[in-house]
Amino acid sequence: MMVPVSRKPVTHATQCGAVLLAVLLSVVLVGACGSRTTGGGSAAPAAAASEPAGAETPYEGACPSGENSRPLAKTRFALHAGLGLGAFHRYIYKPAREGKFRANADNRGRTLAKAAVAGLFTAHELKVAKGFAVANPTLCNAIQSITNNFTGLVDKLKNGSATEADVDASQSSFDALRQQATQDGFGFNEKNVTVPGAD
């Protein structure tokens, strides 16, 4: 004899909880597995695998005035800043320009959740890039400014209040960072990247 099982109706809160759980799991997987690029770029884990332990540790201190002793600082800065820019453009900037963040857009909640995951990835890549930008105080300060900007943008993506103006402000921050980086000999290009949990 089978015992009937009562099932609770799926509520909006339950669906939001499931989305939040998926976002958090994605962030953990990104941290555990590293990022990867698609297309012609090289994979980030392969770059990190050949480096000494702790080489990718994010820099947490104030921008110094002295020289950076970390090897290949320019190359590593370009890799991480490029990955951050690629994730920002693919998952945040382009959907915003296409109107997918607007209140009446189809699948707006899903788009914002994916953008929030990509925003966390971008903020992480910028934080790591800062660790290699410390040789140049001006560049270090510029990347700190964009990191602060992204913290605010990610918060707005999470609560669904991000607007095209917020995204445009982040694009302007990236443009300023690229210009300053190029002037300081740390130029970087956008990398084609796939962020787990944002596809």
Average pLDDT for residues 164-189, to the nearest whole number? 89
pLDDT at position 84, please?
A: 95
pLDDT confidence bin for 11, thresholds 50/70/90: very low
Helix, strand, or coil (residue 136): coil
- Give the range with max mean pLDDT: 12-16, 64-68, 144-148, 191-195: 191-195
Give the number of other CB atoms < 10 A from CB of residue 39. Answer: 9
Residues 6+ apart with CB under 8 A from 126: 80, 81, 84, 143, 146, 147, 150
The residue extents of the domains of the chain are: 73-184
Q: Report d(CA 8, CA 63) in Å as an integer.
A: 53
pLDDT at position 56, please?
A: 54
Average pLDDT, the chain: 73
Q: Report d(CA 191, CA 196) in Å as an integer.
A: 15
pLDDT at position 61, please?
A: 67
Helix, strand, or coil (residue 36): strand
pLDDT in tens, 14-57: 444 444 334 443 433 334 334 333 333 333 433 333 344 445 55
Q: Is the pLDDT of residue 63 over 60?
A: yes
pLDDT at position 28, please?
A: 36
Q: Give the DSSP H/E element, type plus range, for residue 78.
A: helix 73-88
Give the number of other CB atoms < 10 A from CB of residue 99. Answer: 11
pLDDT at position 14, please?
A: 40
Give the number of other CB atoms < 10 A from CB of residue 10. Answer: 9
pLDDT in tens, 76-108: 899 999 999 999 999 999 999 999 988 888 999
pLDDT in tens, 109-161: 899 999 999 999 999 999 888 888 876 777 887 887 788 878 888 899 888 88
